[in-house]
Structure 1
């Protein structure tokens, strides 16, 4: 039986023909409009401008991505004038951190800005006839008189004179005492950054082998206001015992058992507090005068 092949051609429906003819009509209309614009020269000029701009921005890499610097410059040029002014460097009229830090260094600490402590040390003697003073006990009290540190300290050299009548230290007190090198580190850690009050405190610093900043040191033996309050000559060094009795009406260092470094430190702090406000104002005015002279 022979095979019969039938080629059936399906004609599109009326809707499809209408849709297709409508699409062709739009395309033809677009082509005619494009040719008209080209003949007038409008479309040609725009294309050339776009090509020139694109080539100008893509010289450095040959691709169609704009150069970052060019894009940034275009963006910044379009910003308002106020936003550009914010990126400028500060003028000399604005405050600088360097000038403020220099002025702060010349100012003396204001009362209350530092923690105040009072220091008192008791010495023993070493060497021939105990002529060399060494640290045997150290006490540090707070602004309110609370004991922060109080230890017997064993000197580096053998003790030849305990000076018990003044120091109150005996042989048994130093048998298991804290070694000097250990105690010194503990004490200096407490004194760091604090205003240290003491009576003839240079002697205490000497046995500690330490120098405390002068602007953070208050020596009650060198405060003329205290001498004036007690009725003593302003330039004379009065003993702690006399100042305490005259100004505070308290008796310290009584008997023959020696001094108590805790008692002496508390008395020193109480004396300082009597003239604290006036003395700090005097120091502040002296600092201002010195800075003006410079």
Structure 2
């Protein structure tokens, strides 16, 4: 798991403080990494690894990285999870509540908590997921077309 606070590369118009807890004072060179440093570390850590998460294309796009599609396990696109996503609600929060019987994101979004929840959710179905892939059946929806460049 790699979690880093990164200095913005463009002006921030809304920190979404009520859900992130972040304020402008958090983003100083003393508290946050430069984008290129975080990008380099993430790229190095991801190389040759299967990555697990929720809507991975958002993170890959934000980092300007791509990753082999067959080395991604995106809980947001896994077919068996689709029925648990409540329209108009935080999809990841719905999945965790439905399948894991946990509550996340009660007050603030916590990226470490989210990563652990995604990994636990994946592990709860890993045998079935990997069995489908072994049979050459891709068990996931495609990401939105505008993010296809995030996958190689």
**Partners of 1:190 and 1:260 in 2: how far apart?**
21
User: Any idea what SS the aligned residue of 1:160 has?
Assistant: coil
1:1-294 alignment, distance < 5 Å: 140=1, 149-176=2-29, 177-227=32-82, 232=84, 239-255=91-107, 258-286=108-136
1:105 match: none
User: Any idea what SS the aligned residue of 1:197 has?
Assistant: strand
Q: CA deviation at 1:154?
A: 0.3
**Partners of 2:41 and 2:23 in 1: how far apart?**
23
Structure 2 segments unaligned to the other structure (5+ residues): 138-152
**Partners of 1:165 and 1:238 in 2: how far apart?**
15
**Partners of 1:150 and 1:265 in 2: how far apart?**
9
Q: Deviations over 1:145-197 (max 9, x none)?
A: xxxx2221002122222122333322122113111111110111111111001
**Partners of 1:172 and 1:218 in 2: how far apart?**
35
Q: Which runs of 4+ in 1 moved over 3 A?
A: none
Q: TM-score, structure 1 length as denominator? A: 0.42
User: Any idea what SS the aligned residue of 1:150 has?
Assistant: coil
Q: CA deviation at 1:238?
A: 7.2
Structure having greater relative contact order (Cα 8 Å, sep ≥ 6): 2
Count of equivalent residues: 133
> Is the 2:84–2:95 Cα contact (8 Å) retained in structure 1?
no
> Is the 2:84–2:94 Cα contact (8 Å) retained in structure 1?
no
Q: TM-score, structure 2 length as denominator? A: 0.79
Structure 1 segments unaligned to the other structure (5+ residues): 1-139, 141-148, 288-294
> Is the 1:154–1:179 Cα contact (8 Å) retained in structure 2?
yes
**Partners of 1:249 and 1:268 in 2: how far apart?**
13
> Is the 1:241–1:252 Cα contact (8 Å) retained in structure 2?
yes
